[in-house]
Amino acid sequence: MCGIVGYMGSSGVASILLSGLKCLEYRGYDSAGIAYINNGKLNVTKSAGKLENLEKLLTADRQSSLAFSGIGHTRWATHGVPNDLNAHPHLNADSSIAIVHNGIIENYAMLKEELESEGYKFNSDTDTEVIVHLLTKEYKKTNSILKAITNSVKKLVGSYALGIISSYQKDTIFAVNHHYSLTLGQGDNEFYLASDIVAVRQYTNKILRLEQSEIAEITQNQVRLYDFNGHETMREFITVDSDPYLINKDGYKHFLLKEIHEQPTILRQTIGKYMVHPNAKINFNQNNEPLTNAHTQEKSAGVHLSKNDIMGIENILIIACGTAYHAGMIGKYYLEQLCNVPVNVEIASEVRGRNLLVNEKSLVIAVSQSGETADTIAALSEAKRKGAYTLGITNRADSHLSRISSNLIITECGVEVSVAATKTYIAQVVSFLLFALYLAEERGSLTTSYINNLKLELHSLPALVETVLANETYIKEASIKYADAQDMVFIGRGINYPTALEGALKLKELSYIHASGYAAGELKHGPIAVLDSLVPVVTILMPGSVYDKTLSNAQEARARNAQMIAVACSDDEKAHKYFDTVLEVPPVDELLSPILAVIPLQLFSYFISDYLGKDVDQPRNLAKSVTVE
């Protein structure tokens, strides 16, 4: 949440900072700004709204292209509305120090009161502004920016990352990391700074990640690192040999549509990686890679549980947020069904402040596309403290989650640019299925023939997803008929209850139409009161153990004149008889049905959103990486 960039070198700073901010816009797009030094003077240019607003200002600001050092920020508002005043960078009174900030300063109210009583004037509603005044106060005492930083961080409570620039030390920018993420990149007599390696990798493959409580003093020729006591620490830049994270739309109108279409390939890669052949055992450590690649500092995927560990697991807890939580709900179903082990699934933010009942016999699985979600990280850290086995499922090998998980499944979807998660969701779901099959094989909880049949079905799944995508034109026409709805209800049972929740979440996020997902059996316990002829009800009606009951629940909605939409199999005659619109998927085993059923729902939300002219890839108020609790 929020993105920081920085540059110190000999090229024009504005375009470099802007290009970095473009890579980080997924972290928030409420406002953006930069601070730079030119002719010894510190300047700030910032604007509420998307990056294009800042870009316009900078085009008119010739000074910024002549400067060689600066910091920049893209904001997701926490304290204070998204306006120009609350936009970063924040400046002190005499324009000598400017800062950009990610994270939250938990004790900012107390610090603000203290600073105000000493005469410091605040111009914004942000928690950030206390830092710039604190730095100013400490600079006055010490005459050193570094000392001002080490003195100030001792007073700040919370997790945060900072970029700092000052006219007192014109040839330097500073970076501060405290339980956040900041990466430095080294070029030829130049250094880059960013919250995400993606923004640095466009310029260089020599990188250095800041440790959890670390300060970097960056000049054109060198970077010096310090701990929070001001003691210098030594670390080298490392060469990352993986490809740069390429980000382009490949001719699609939106990243979201491109990412929806990448799903068959991702399924093929993920299934093929861990299950080389339908008759082979599932293997998460096929290359015997070391858990952490010393070269790249990235953690390799791997499950390092011994047979004894696996046999000893008495319960599993899955923690996640948003779409990843829905994947976790399906994971619970797989693990209980296939491995006979009790599983709880919790929204990560709801775990905080509770007595987390896990121990050495528990496996805690944290699921997060970004691997940076603050609530998920905090819950996993607590589980680790209590001695549980940990497994991370994430799309980012270089993330915080990867670093703290003892076992790791990387979903390897490539960067997911669109804020609404699609391809990472199906990769998480299929990872859960593969992991459940792996545990089932190790624990002997299923017959070999059952496992082999399921593996065969799994092998043919990517082709079935392609069949659904081939029906895109029909789905588009069918979807936009419902674009004027004010409310929609999604219902599903059993393994497709999470599909209903995910369908509703996608519609809300992308189209801003209010939508709720319910367990189909719950409809009559209250939600049915909202139904009338204006409310479309989307039923996930997949063949299997709960088909008849789901159909009965849908009939209850039909009897209230609701507009009836089904996600159902192409050969389902009842669906075609009782529903106004059928979004078809091919017949498939019930266990695999959530992976197919979600595809038409993703397209449904996409087409409605695009038809309504919404900002598909960057819906209002959201951010891709939610790094505040």
Choose between 96 and 625: whose C-beta lies nearer to ligand M6R.
625
Residues 213 to 242 in contact with ligand M6R, rule: CB under 6 A: none
Nearest residue relative to ligand M6R (C-beta):
322
Residue 420 contacts ligand M6R per CB under 6 A:
yes
**Residue span binding ligand M6R (CB under 6 A) among the ranges 100-108, 463-471, 487-495, 619-627:** 619-627
Residue 509 contacts ligand M6R per CB under 6 A:
yes
Residue 270 contacts ligand M6R per CB under 6 A:
no
> In one letter, which amino acid is 311?
M
Choose between 96 and 323: whose C-beta lies nearer to ligand M6R.
323
CA 333 to each of CA 422, 496, 569: distance values in angstroms, whole numbers, following the listed order: 20, 10, 21
Q: 59 is written with which tokens? A: 């085009």
Active-site residue, from 2, 23, 339, 569: 2
Choose between 531 and 538: whose C-beta lies nearer to ligand M6R.
538
Cα 263-264-268 angle, rounded to 5 deg: 115
Residues 560 to 599 in contact with ligand M6R, rule: CB under 6 A: none
Active-site residue, from 299, 506, 508, 624: 624
Choose between 247 and 530: whose C-beta lies nearer to ligand M6R.
247
**Catalytic (active site) residue 577:** no
DSSP-derived letter for residue 302 is: B
Residue 370 contacts ligand M6R per CB under 6 A:
yes
Q: How far is the CB of 491 from ligand M6R (least distance, A)?
A: 20
What CA dihedral angle connects 580, 584, 587 and 593, to 10 degrees?
-100
Q: How far is the CB of 338 from ligand M6R (least distance, A)?
A: 24
| Contact yes or no for 456/586 (Cβ under 8 A) | no
Residue 509: closest CA among 603, 595, 621, 426 = 621
| Contact yes or no for 495/590 (Cβ under 8 A) | yes
Residue 405 contacts ligand M6R per CB under 6 A:
no
Among 369, 402, 411, 609, binds ligand M6R (CB under 6 A): 369
Residue 491 contacts ligand M6R per CB under 6 A:
no
What is the rounded distance in angstroms from the CA atom of residue 91 to the CA atom of residue 42? 9
**Catalytic (active site) residue 339:** no
| Contact yes or no for 131/153 (Cβ under 8 A) | no
Pairing of strands 206-209, 191-194: unpaired
**Residue span binding ligand M6R (CB under 6 A) among the ranges 1-9, 369-377, 492-500, 564-572:** 369-377
What is the rounded distance in angstroms from the CA atom of residue 204 to the CA atom of residue 206? 6
CA 451 to each of CA 302, 305, 316, 439, 598: distance values in angstroms, whole numbers, following the listed order: 21, 21, 21, 11, 24
What is the rounded distance in angstroms from the CA atom of residue 488 to the CA atom of residue 563? 9
What is the rounded distance in angstroms from the CA atom of residue 608 to the CA atom of residue 479? 6
What is the rounded distance in angstroms from the CA atom of residue 572 to the CA atom of residue 539? 13
DSSP state letters, 81-146 = -SSTTTSSPEE-TTS-EEEEEEE--TTHHHHHHHHHHTTPPP-SS-STHHHHHHHHHHHHHHS-HH
What is the rounded distance in angstroms from the CA atom of residue 248 to the CA atom of residue 232? 40
Q: How far is the CB of 422 from ligand M6R (least distance, A)?
A: 8
Choose between 35 and 410: whose C-beta lies nearer to ligand M6R.
410
Residue 419 contacts ligand M6R per CB under 6 A:
yes
Choose between 177 and 373: whose C-beta lies nearer to ligand M6R.
373
The tokens 């640095």 sit on which residue?
200
Residue 414 contacts ligand M6R per CB under 6 A:
no
Residue 626 contacts ligand M6R per CB under 6 A:
yes
By rule CB under 6 A, what count of residues binds ligand M6R? Answer: 16
**Residue span binding ligand M6R (CB under 6 A) among the ranges 34-42, 72-80, 184-192, 367-375:** 367-375
| Contact yes or no for 556/524 (Cβ under 8 A) | yes
Residues 295 to 334 in contact with ligand M6R, rule: CB under 6 A: 321-324
Residue 368 contacts ligand M6R per CB under 6 A:
yes
Q: How far is the CB of 420 from ligand M6R (least distance, A)?
A: 4
Choose between 135 and 538: whose C-beta lies nearer to ligand M6R.
538
Q: 112 is written with which tokens? A: 């603000």
Q: How far is the CB of 120 from ligand M6R (least distance, A)?
A: 35
x-or-dash string of contact with ligand M6R, 375-404, rule CB under 6 A: -x----------------------------
Radius of gyration of the chain, Cα coordinates, nearest whole angstrom:
26
Choose between 216 and 321: whose C-beta lies nearer to ligand M6R.
321
Binding site for ligand M6R (CB under 6 A): 321-324, 368-370, 373, 376, 419-421, 509, 622, 625-626
Residues with catalytic roles: 2, 624
